[in-house]
Every structure is written in C-alpha cells, then in structure tokens.
A = this chain, B = another copy of it.
C-alpha cells in the first residue's frame, strides 16, 4: 500500500508546488543530491498538458550545470514551445515489505523539475545539449561516433529546462511498522532493486571485426 510517511521531501526551491506535499515537514535543500540523482538516471518522464489533459512521455535527457536538456523531433507534440512541463526522474532502490499491508512501500529517489523550457536556437548550445543527452545514456559515445549532420540537427528540437524549481524525494531504510505490529510473527525487510547492464549484443550488421569498446564493456555489471 506504499505508505509514504517515511519519505523525506526535499524541495531545493521553496515554491508553492515543491513545498506542498505530505512530507513537506521533512523538506531540506540539497542541490548536489538533485544533480547526483539526475546523473544516475537514464530515462525521465516528461509531463506536458495537451488540450487540457496530462500526457506523460518517457524520454532521454542530459544535464549541464543547472540546465536539463531534452530533445525530440521538431514534429513531436510533447515538445511544442510555450507550455509548462514537469520532468520526473525516479530510481527504484528497493521493495519495502512491512508486517502490515498498509506500510508496504518503495525505497526510491525521485526528482521533479518544474518550468517552461526554452527552445534552443544557438547552434553551439544545440550541439552541447545533444551531446549531454547522448552521453547521459551512453558515456564516451559522442566522441566515438559520427556527429549530427545539418539535416539531423535541423530535424531535432532541443529544449533547455532550468533546474531552478526542483524537489528531491528519498525513502530509505527498513519498513516503518506500527509499534503494535512489531511482535507479530511476520517476516519484514527490504528486497533491494538494482538496474544492471548485461554483456553487449553487437549489431549483426557490423561491417568490421571491431571489439566492444571500453566505454561499453566497462559498464557491464551482470554476467
């Protein structure tokens, strides 16, 4: 039932919407934690409003200092100019199993960023944003591959979102059971959840007998 009473909500900017929340009494400011969380994630969930209704799209992202970069086709509905967005990055760390259904929960770290993105028009920033997005997903890759040509760059919209209005929420540790339940003969604890990388699968169309480069093989954590 995923109770959230142990979670620490950590607004980094005390605006109305980052301050409000059930656990706001645990709020604290820690921008380095926001950066670390964003740098660890691979996928964000981009929320936009289309025709008055919410729309949540998974997509890649990249960070440079206090700016988050997003990208997409110039035709993508979720990346049109002008509207506010909410970008959420969630890292699941564990399944919290309590002695009562009510206190089941998830150990996790999540960041929410609010703002109105700016469409990047400067060619240098456009390229830097694309580089950040590519390197977020595949570190070391940008310098190893063919960069975008003029046609590809023109087809790709890059958005810049300030990290000024953001919050970080973290839940860690064992279940938070009711005192009256502590003596019941029910096992309780945490099942840790990890994201791992398996050995790479080479493209069957690879024209040369090229080894897997170190920037790929060094990431393998499983097998």
Residues of A within 8 A of B (CB): 1-2, 4, 17, 20-22, 42-43, 45-60, 71-73, 75-77, 84-88, 90, 92, 94-95, 97-102, 104, 106, 108, 110, 112, 114, 130-131, 133-134, 137-138, 141-142, 144-149, 152, 156, 174-175, 177, 181-208, 210-213, 216, 219-220, 222
Contacts and interface: CB of A to CB of B under 8 A. Distances in A.
A95 B138 contact: yes
Nearest to A48: B54
A212 B112 CA distance: 35
B145 A98 contact: yes
Contacts of A110: 58
A206 B200 CA distance: 41
Number of copies: 2
21 contacts: A1-B156, A17-B55, A42-B95, A45-B58, A47-B86, A52-B84, A58-B90, A58-B110, A97-B145, A101-B141, A101-B142, A102-B152, A144-B187, A146-B186, A182-B207, A189-B202, A191-B198, A191-B220, A192-B199, A194-B196, A194-B222
Given A130-B101, A202-B187, A45 B56 contact: yes
A146 B49 contact: no
